[in-house]
Structure 1
Amino acid sequence: MSTSFATTRFGTTQRGRLVTAARTTFTTHGYHGTTMDAVSAVADVTKPVLYRHFSHKSELYLAVILEYLDDLTNRLCDLREAPTSDFDRVRRCVGVLFDLVESGPHSTSALVFGSGAVGDHAVESRIATALAEFVDTLATHLHPDEVRPQRTRLLAAGLIGATLAAADEWHRLRQPVSRQSALDSLAGWYCSGLRDSVD
């Protein structure tokens, strides 16, 4: 299991420990099943300490989602440094998404990409914007020379959905093929679809 997603960008600060505790609680119990009491218990702090940093559960949830998306975006940006073939570029993107699924409970990817209503319009709007920005980043990385942004966004969104579904199934079946084979298969499927597509 990859541990890199478990390392908070806030380091060892108290706020960082609170976000890490919230991530554990949200991935285990979901948004509606998580309470501020539960987060403070996992973080081993009092509720006043938690509320000093986050006045509402929705704010804490937003911090968790943004941290995951920041990590994913940074990984994609790191991939841009090395020139690669189209297949390698797709395969590396698939690997980043597989890492997310492997980083914790299988609910992690659903937490990040399936964020539902939290009863706070401002938070929901910020999450939607952050998700859209991530899809844009992925689309740009997958197709750096593409002049049709709407098409590339659709392809990027499709790759996210297909990869996360495949990764979940791979885990459910107890890794019936090697990780390398799984990544190669998904990247090959995506690239062959592009070759066969007709505008």
Structure 2
Amino acid sequence: MSEPRRRMSGKERREQLIQISRTLFAEKGFDGTSVEEIAATANVSKPVVYEHFGGKEGVYAVVVDREMQKLLGMVTEALSASHSLIKLERAALALLAYVEENSEGFRILVRDSHAASGTGTFASLINDIASQVEDVMVDEFVERDYDPKLAPMYAQMLVGMVALTGQWWLDVRRPPREEVAAHLVNLAWNGLTGLNPQPRLTASSRGLEQRRTPLPPRPTDKELREMEKARERELKEQEKLREREVREAAKLEREREKLRLREQRELEKSNEREFRERERLLRDQEKARERELKEQEKIRVREAKTAEREAARQAEAAGHAGMEQEKLEPTE
């Protein structure tokens, strides 16, 4: 006989939902995954998912935040080395190690840039890593008499190169990660070694660039803040909608429970009425039988009395007849 399945604690259920959602998001992306699918895979009802995370966006945000913290922690630890070359080697290895050992998490980070993740997008993660690499670049630029103000731009270039290589290597997985890291560092480090402090385009390229249509201006900081506020308002509206849906679902469940209890009480009352009616019928039948027995007893008593009187009368009549006979007989 199999043992009964142990009920999960709230913490265990939450962790189970996170792991299941992580696999589904990696396979199908945010839009391709539904709360119904998460609940069905975990063998729970939809309200359980809403109870723990408020909806699909909530669990997605938790999954993305975990993956970002994991990758950022690995890269940060790699950048704690003393020599710049060692830092670059270990950072490249850390990213490739994360890709190899946490493929599902990396697919989630590079697949979606959904509003549900807030600031937790792959681009923001690259910015976080680049800000740390920037400190390394500043030291190298100062040492080589390059303009340190250019360090942030070079940090973005360097991290972007490694990140895009990681995306490519996610599927091909050849050559091994140590070899890929070695080639990345070869290109980056040797390129930095021979860096021109004042690079310029060739004359022909500069002429071509001057003939291009100007790009639209980059949004100002104020416009970016307004866009961020608009996104926050949208997320708040989505959260309110989710909360309203949860309340409606809970209300509907309560109404169903009330209806079920009312029907149960009505059934119990009906059963009780039927039971009382059967009891009353049984009592009436018992009383009718008692009355019938009493009537039968009375009839038997009357018949017995009538028989006794008839017997007494016949005996008396016989006595009179004997006396008359004696009178008529002659005396000897």
The TM tier, using the shorter chain, reads: 0.7 to 0.9
SS of corresponding position for 1:198 = coil
Q: Counterpart of 1:96? A: 94
Change (3 A) 1:151 1:103: farther
| Amino acid of the structure 1 residue aligned with 2:49 | L
Q: Counterpart of 1:115? A: 112
Change (3 A) 1:150 1:13: farther
| Amino acid of the structure 1 residue aligned with 2:61 | L
Q: Counterpart of 1:126? A: 119
* Matched-pair contact (CA < 8 Å) for 1:22–1:61: yes
Q: Counterpart of 1:136? A: 131
Task: Name which of structure 1's ranges 56-65 and 147-156 shifts more when overlaid on structure 2.
Answer: 147-156
Unaligned ranges ≥5, structure 2 = 1-10, 198-332
Structure 1, residues 19-59: CA drift from partner, whole Å, max 9, x if none? Answer: 22211111100111011122223334332221112113222
Deviation at 1:69, TM superposition (A): 1.0
Structure 1, residues 140-190: CA drift from partner, whole Å, max 9, x if none? Answer: 4x4373677874443343334322432344454452x33222111101211
TM-score, length-scaled by structure 2: 0.46
Distance, in Å, in 1 between the alignment partners of 2:134 and 2:14 is 32
Question: What does 1:33-112 correspond to in 2, within 5 Å?
Answer: 33-83=32-82, 85-105=83-103, 108-112=105-109
SS of corresponding position for 1:34 = coil
Task: Name which of structure 1's ranges 59-68 and 161-170 shifts more when overlaid on structure 2.
Answer: 161-170
Distance, in Å, in 1 between the alignment partners of 2:55 and 2:151 is 36
Q: Counterpart of 1:24? A: 23
* Matched-pair contact (CA < 8 Å) for 1:97–1:160: no
Task: Name which of structure 1's ranges 162-171 and 144-153 shifts more when overlaid on structure 2.
Answer: 144-153
Unaligned ranges ≥5, structure 1 = 1-11
* Matched-pair contact (CA < 8 Å) for 2:29–2:112: no
Distance, in Å, in 2 between the alignment partners of 1:144 and 1:73 is 20
SS of corresponding position for 1:59 = helix
SS of corresponding position for 1:127 = coil
Structure 1, residues 92-114: CA drift from partner, whole Å, max 9, x if none? Answer: 11112112321344x74353145
Distance, in Å, in 1 between the alignment partners of 2:59 and 2:24 is 11
SS of corresponding position for 1:143 = helix
Task: Name which of structure 1's ranges 90-99 and 149-158 shifts more when overlaid on structure 2.
Answer: 149-158
Deviation at 1:194, TM superposition (A): 1.8
Aligned residues: 180
* Matched-pair contact (CA < 8 Å) for 2:137–2:155: no
Q: Counterpart of 2:309? A: none
Give me the identity figure in percent: 22
* Matched-pair contact (CA < 8 Å) for 2:129–2:159: no
Distance, in Å, in 1 between the alignment partners of 2:138 and 2:160 is 21
Distance, in Å, in 2 between the alignment partners of 1:178 and 1:20 is 28
Larger Rg: 2
SS of corresponding position for 2:120 = helix
TM-score, length-scaled by structure 1: 0.72
Distance, in Å, in 1 between the alignment partners of 2:176 and 2:131 is 30
Change (3 A) 1:33 1:153: farther
Change (3 A) 1:81 1:93: closer
SS of corresponding position for 1:94 = helix
Q: CA RMSD in A?
A: 3.0
More helix by share: 2
Which of structures 1 and 2 has the larger relative contact order (alpha carbons within 8 angstroms, sep 6+)? 1
